[in-house]
Amino acid sequence: MIRGVRGAITIDKNQQDDIVTSTKKLLEEMIAANKLVPENVSQIWFTVTSDINAAFPAKAIRLLEGWEFVPVMCAQEIPVPGSLPLCIRIMLSAEINTKQEDVQHIYLRNAKELRPDLELTKKK
């Protein structure tokens, strides 16, 4: 079954190193938590808030060995007033042999406030 795996992380500054390093950390945690392999990933969407423009977060996937053929795309989030600033979001579509409620969505740093309800689904 193709499932969506969500993730989000906030950065401290709109700087290339912070964007790429933080995105890489988020991807690594999403991959590990869901036991993902690149051959089973159909695509990855990266979105950023309007205050992030120093680098493409998709650059981070190219730092992971074996992931160079996974299609990626970047886009800007809708600029909703009062939304969480300096936030990178990921939607990863992959063949996952688990129930939808067992998919591990990863929210790091201040992005945890986007989906506090998902803490209930995390395996300890």
Q: Which of 77, 87, 101, 109 is catalytic?
A: 77
- What is the pTM assigned to this prediction? 0.93
Q: What 3 state SS string does the chain have?
A: CEEEEEEEEECCCCCHHHHHHHHHHHHHHHHHHHCCCHHHEEEEEEEECCCCCCCCHHHHHHHCCCCCCCCEEEEECCCCCCCCCCEEEEEEEEECCCCHHHCCCEEEHHHHHHCHHHHHHCCC
Q: Which of 3, 6, 39, 101 is catalytic?
A: 6
At 95-110, the pLDDT tens digits run: 999 999 999 999 999 9
115 is catalytic: yes
At 55-111, the pLDDT tens digits run: 999 999 999 999 999 999 999 999 999 999 999 999 999 999 999 999 999 999 999
With 60 as the cut, is the pLDDT of residue 25 above it?
yes
62 is catalytic: yes
109 is catalytic: no
For each of the domains in the chain, give its residue range(s) and CATH number, in order of start: 2-118 (3.30.1330.40)
6 is catalytic: yes
